[in-house]
Structure 1
Amino acid sequence: MNIGVVHFGSYTTGVTEIITRLIEANIESYRLYGIDWNRHTKGIEVKELHRESIAQAQFNGDAILSAFPEQYWNEGSKSLIHENIKLDYLILLGGSKETVSTSSIKTLHVPVSIFNSEDHSSYSLGYDSALNTIYSSIEKIRDTASSLIYNKLRVFPIQIPGNKYTPLVQDTALAINAPFVRQDDDEAITIIKEAIQEKNSRNESYLFIIMDHSVNHQSLEQKIAVEFDVDWKVMSISESQCVGPFPTAIDRIVIGRISDKIIELINTSSLDSGYIGIQDLQVTYYKN
């Protein structure tokens, strides 16, 4: 059996560990192929993955498999049927389940995302690592903010990854005990005004406000400035900052359980089109 693997999204560290475990399982009943997108030729590339792939990636400091641009997958997946290597099955690591599934080849979708926004799974691999990284970054800002004496309140709108609202926004706010806003609207202005008033009443020197990159912080600043004299300083945390080389313990557990489940499905010849769901860190396979 020939099994293809595609990586969507930014959590390369977790994906690399899963692929490494699939290679090291050394199951004779299948060959593993990585599917890449060549940005120069604008075409799909299929390469066999083996132990030498691990060694070469480690030597070069690269990922075993680079991220496939999700916007090119619909056209790219169609060209797979014309490749010299006939793939019997595809493992889709990340991407939206509805967007990246293909009807031409049986697929297994695995929730890998720092945003934890898949409807069919309560957890996505990479989320805990991203959340911890964001928390640590904001705590460093807090250390600096708390050490400075200002004659007016310092407001830090902190933009975290995402171009639309995801659970990452609210969970970050809960972790650092700060308000969050979903968009630039009257509700957001009310939230920020109340937070400023509370901070001023306590004579505190700074305020964090959590938002994603879809929120227009400049518009918020202009509306707040009408009523409050504050020092407004925007801080931004990019997606690339959230995907470091060291997964958290929770994500390492999920990596192990996802890998074990895929290997179990291969060994028992149980692979059919379906998806992985994660609930309370337990990994379950569902057929479509």
Structure 2
Amino acid sequence: MKTIRKIGVMTSGGDAPGMNAAIRSVVRTCAYHELECIGIYRGFQGLIEGDFKSMDARSVNNIINKGGTILKSARSDEFRAREGRDTAFAKAKSAEIDALIIIGGDGSFNGAILFSEENNFPVIGIPGTIDNDIFGTSSTLGYDTACNTVVEAIDKIRDTASSHNRLFFVEVMGRDVGNIALNAGVGAGAEEILIPEENLGKERLIESLKRSRASGKSSSIVVVAEGDKTGENVFELKDYVEENLPEYEVRVSVLGHMQRGGSPSCWDRVLASRMGVKAVESLMEGKSNYMIGIRDSQMTLCPLDQAVKGKTKIDKELIRVSDIMTT
């Protein structure tokens, strides 16, 4: 078993609220166990370029409440090539880094797997993505905060919708999975929720809106995941509804990258703190190529290749709840 004395930590891929809290946890757990911690800036690109900074417990003061990532994040085309990964390994070896903790999504984990296999180098992943689309954990860092951000935005949009008797399509992130749309839609009391996993169909959408209108609703909110297949895009859906329900004044609000920002929720801060501790201590125990997850409130280890290849499933019971709530 390789003795771990110095751990590198990086953030990679899209940012997510809670990444800074995870960095803080990794750094302070290293300090607690008298290990050195090296911050790697700009993800795998920074690893290739040797963009390193030694971090101690005081260097992560006052970041638990901040969104984004103090270590920055960047895509790296160089790392996709073997030559780039060899350069990254040489830089890590030169800095005497013994293991890596990578905070990111499935793309980052794919890079981590390659790097580890080619160089026999210990790696542990912490899932940081607002989409909650990684197998092996019931929650990823940033997901809870993103849902809260969307609910808050919809609450404000509803004030305008009800004031002007309007129908609003609110597009949220979720290219392949509809977790944000489904959970935030139920939480905000949306009249309809459109997600990639369940193709509602234009005709059923129109019938649902007609029923809402007939029941006395003068305004409606429809939450649409960006990957929904009901229409070509949310603006095409708007045009279709206006053609078939001219009594509705329809507006579109695309929330976009505001969902990634903001101060992380208490849940995400605590989850990040727990995952950081588990990541460091797993490396100390000689474990590698695992992702830290949470199941039934307990920290778990999921093999990185399973986390990448496994398919998450939408909560069918919550879809049923949504159908009942939109009656």
Output the CA distance in 2 between the equivalents of 1:74 and 1:162.
Answer: 25
Output the CA distance in 1 between the equivalents of 2:294 and 2:95.
Answer: 32
Which sections of structure 2, spanning at least 5 residues, go unmatched? Answer: 305-327
Which sections of structure 1, spanning at least 5 residues, go unmatched? Answer: none
Distance 1:205 1:31, change over 3 A: same
Stretch deviating more after TM superposition (105-114 or 73-82)? 73-82
Q: What's the CA shift for 1:7?
A: 0.7
2:9 to 2, 5, 10: 5
2:185 to 164, 168, 173: 173
Stretch deviating more after TM superposition (79-88 or 23-32)? 23-32
Question: What is aligned with 1:238?
Answer: 256
1:258 to 272, 275, 289: 275
What amino acid does structure 1 have at the position aligned with 2:110? T
Output the CA distance in 2 between the equivalents of 1:256 and 1:203.
Answer: 47
Question: What is aligned with 2:219?
Answer: 206
Question: What is aligned with 1:31?
Answer: 36
Distance 1:280 1:252, change over 3 A: farther
The Cα offsets for residues 31-82 of structure 1, whole Å up to 9 and x where unpaired, read as: 2222233999996343123236436989xx9843112327665345443112
Q: What's the CA shift for 1:27?
A: 4.4
Q: How does 1:179-194 map to 2 (within 5 A)?
A: 179-182=192-195, 187-194=200-207
Stretch deviating more after TM superposition (40-49 or 28-37)? 40-49
TM-score (normalizing by structure 1):
0.82
Question: What is aligned with 1:248?
Answer: 265
Task: Report the 3-state secondary structure (helix = DSSP H, G, I; strand = E; otherwise coil) of the residue aligned with 1:4.
Answer: strand
Q: What's the CA shift for 1:195?
A: 2.4
1:67 aligns with 2:73: yes
Output the CA distance in 1 between the equivalents of 2:10 and 2:295.
Answer: 23
Q: What's the CA shift for 1:13?
A: 4.3
How many residues align? The count is 279
Distance 1:259 1:40, change over 3 A: closer
**Structure number having the greater helix percentage:** 2
Q: What's the CA shift for 1:277?
A: 1.8
Distance 1:239 1:68, change over 3 A: same
Distance 1:225 1:63, change over 3 A: closer
Question: What is aligned with 1:19?
Answer: 23
Output the CA distance in 1 between the equivalents of 2:203 and 2:225.
Answer: 18
Q: What's the CA shift for 1:156?
A: 0.8
Identity level (%): 22
What amino acid does structure 2 have at the position aligned with 1:175? G
Distance 1:129 1:232, change over 3 A: same
Stretch deviating more after TM superposition (218-227 or 14-23)? 218-227
Task: Report the 3-state secondary structure (helix = DSSP H, G, I; strand = E; otherwise coil) of the residue aligned with 2:138.
Answer: coil
Q: Is the 1:53–1:64 Cα contact (8 Å) retained in structure 2?
A: no
Q: How does 1:1-288 map to 2 (within 5 A)?
A: 1-25=5-29, 26-27=31-32, 29-37=34-42, 44-51=49-56, 53-54=59-60, 63-69=69-75, 73-75=79-81, 77-83=85-91, 84-96=94-106, 99-101=110-112, 102=114, 103=117, 104=119, 105-148=121-164, 150=165, 154-178=166-190, 179-182=192-195, 187-215=200-228, 216-229=233-246, 230-245=248-263, 247-266=264-283, 268-286=284-302
CA-atom RMSD in angstroms: 3.2
Q: Is the 1:12–1:67 Cα contact (8 Å) retained in structure 2?
A: no
Output the CA distance in 1 between the equivalents of 2:139 and 2:75.
Answer: 22
